[in-house]
Structure formats: C-alpha cells, structure tokens
Amino acid sequence: AEPVALVEGYLMSEFFLHSFNTLGHGLIGYIIPFLFVLTIVVFFHELGHFLVARWAGVKVLTFSLGFGPELAGFNDRHGTRWKISAIPLGGYVKFFGDESEASTPASSETLDRMTAEERAGSFHHKKVGPRAAIVAAGPIANFILAIVIFTCLFTFFGKPSTTARVDKIEANSAAAKAGFQVGDVVTAIDGKTIGSFSDMQRIVGVRAGETLNFSVKRGDSTLQLKGTPEFREIKDSFGNVHRLGVLGITRATSPGDVVTERVDPATAAWLGVKETWFVVERTLSYIGGVFTGREAADQVGGPLRIAQISGQVATIGVVALIHLAAVLSISIGLLNLFPVPLLDGGHLLFYAVEAIRGRPLSERAQEMGFRIGLGLVLMLMVFATYNDILHLAAS
C-alpha cells in the first residue's frame, strides 16, 4: 500500500532541516549522500509494509527500491521479486491483487474470479483491519527507524550541551526589553526545564510572537521574566535563510563549555522518542503556520533541495548524515499519514469509511479520490520544484 514516486520523492520536505548549516561541493557531492539517505529511509518504509503483509498472509509480488526499468534483482523463496530500479526517487511494495504500484485494486471482475487459494493471499480480500495495519506499517517503520537512530547516537556519542547562559544581549532586542542581564542562566520556559542553550533556542525559535515565561537564575536568586521572541530572517554563513523566533541573546562558547553527557541505553531511548516527537511537533506547527500565514511556504522543498542539503551535511561526516536520515524518515512518515488519496493516509481514510459503513466505497468513488489525490500531489510537486529552482538560483 505504497504511493508512487511522487510520494517518496517530491513529498519529501525540509521542514526541519534549517539547523544543518553545512556546505556541499559539486554534483557528485550531492547525489551520493542524497541516495544514501533516501535509500535508508525508503527501504525501512517499504520494509514495514512488507513485514506486516507477510504476517497477515498477503502475497508480496515486488519489493522495489526505485521506479522504472529494473537494474538488478532476485526472487526469494516466497516468490517476491526484490529489485533495484532505474529511477531512485522512492520505492514500492506490490501485493497480489494490486493493479499498480500505488496499490490500486485490480478490477472487480479480476478480484471476483480469484480462487479461494488466491483470495487467501490477496491484499484486497483481507479484512479492513489487516489492510489498515499493512498500510500504517510503512509510516510507523519510519518513526521507529528515527527513534532507533537517535537512540544509537545518544548512546554511543552522548548528548552535547552548553548551559543556557546569557553572555551578550542585543540592544533593543526582546531580551533587553524583558530585563535579561549578562550572566543570567535560563532554567525553565513556561515551566519546562531547560537543560542547555539549544533547548532554549528550540523553544524560542518556534514561538515567535508569543509571550514566554522565563525562570532565570541570577546569582543566588531566581527571577521570573516575560519575553516575546521576535520573528526574524537569519542568513547563516552558507547563505541559507532561516525564519526563527529570536530573543537577541548570544552564548559565547569557550573551551570546556560544551559538555557531552553520556547516557545509558534506556535514557537514550527516551531521548530518541522526545527528539522524534519534537520533529513531528515542529512539522505540524510549520504546516499550520503556512496555512495561517505565519510561516513562509518557500521552505517546502523537493529532491533538488534534499540533495543539496544531503551534500552539505555529508561534509560534517557520516554521523550527521545518519542524523539527517532520521529527520527525513520522520517527515516522510508523517506526511504519508496525511489523509490524501495516493498517500498511506488516504488509504487509511478509505478503510475508516469502510469500517463505519460496513462495506468499501464504490470503485468510482475510490477512482475519483485517487484522481483528486494525484492532482494534489502534482501541484505540490510543481510547487516544491519551483521552490528548489529559486533556492538554487539564489545560492
């Protein structure tokens, strides 16, 4: 139950990639890291569909990384064709009873003519529960992959942090108006404990225009200050523009200020869950901000932008690239859950209606839904590609 290349490729967004301030060089420097990241994310997404389908007794005809002509492949003992295809912008799992890679069902005549044995292995003859589980398994696998990656990073590399200390305050900034002073240490925002400067930046960055309550340690006293982050466009040293909430506070990092906290696997797993939730929360906040006019839609990108960012992140190292894979995995998992026909979420919407009605939607209704979904996906594809071209032309 996997959408076509438009889903796995063009629907990839960079909603959470503003923090990657790195520089890539050359076409090869973009393509190889991009394919590395994309292959990891797509493989585990499709593996989720595949494993649950096998568990539910559905015959899997094809497991493909990429679309179009086959480059290489083999058949396993269950008859599944595992292959790598020529267009590396996604992947799909095709089930017995599917008409296409998008998991659209074969005609009713074809399904009705199946034998009892064939029906047992047909995706579209399964009850609505198993079908929904198979569809949902792809996005769920993306979330699990991200949690595992974050857990491993925290376990083996620790959690780097710097105290949320105020070393410099911009004149007439939100921090100056709130009464911050040099030497203050922020310990909590709206009652949420702040363990590092990056923790404070994350909260402030996504809450521009909102009045926040800061608990501040000043000497031996604890004060309560109210501040409203300002919405600014900030250009980093690589020319990337970020729209963030800013207080106007600077933290000067001296040798020894950055502390790497070693954590046990259980704590690392919890941190991985929290990190995954942060990305989900930020994605939903950004999308809501686009519709309300609070956020700019020009941050939505497609394969070109993802390839550029992958090349930039690769210059830091493999660990940073794997971290990027986790972020993209979350974004793809979440976007695939949107209730748009062609996406996994669209299939789940149809199944929910089927469960309520006691019977599936008519073929015509499903066909119209897929056409509408295709139109929406095509529009997003064009918009994302337009943003990519503008971004590349300006860089």
Catalytic member of 2, 8, 14, 46: 46
Least confident of 189-193, 305-309, 356-360: 305-309
Rounded to an integer, what distance in angstroms lies between the CA atom of residue 230 and that of residue 325?
Answer: 31
Higher pLDDT, 256 or 91: 91
CB 128 within 8 Å of CB 250? no
Task: Give the global pTM.
Answer: 0.80
Query: Phi, psi (5° rounding) for residue 99?
Result: -85, -30
Sequence-distant (≥ 6) Cβ neighbours of residue 214 within 8 angstroms: 178, 180, 186, 188, 189, 224, 225, 226, 227
pLDDT at residue 83 is higher than 50: yes
111 beta partners: none
pLDDT at residue 386 is higher than 80: no
| pLDDT in the model for residue 231 | 84
CB neighbours of residue 222 within 10 Å: 12
| pLDDT in the model for residue 256 | 59
Q: Is 46 a catalytic residue?
A: yes
pLDDT grade for 12, boundaries at 50, 70 and 90: very low
| pLDDT in the model for residue 56 | 93
Sequence-distant (≥ 6) Cβ neighbours of residue 284 within 8 angstroms: 334
| pLDDT in the model for residue 106 | 62
CB 111 within 8 Å of CB 95? no
pLDDT at residue 326 is higher than 60: yes
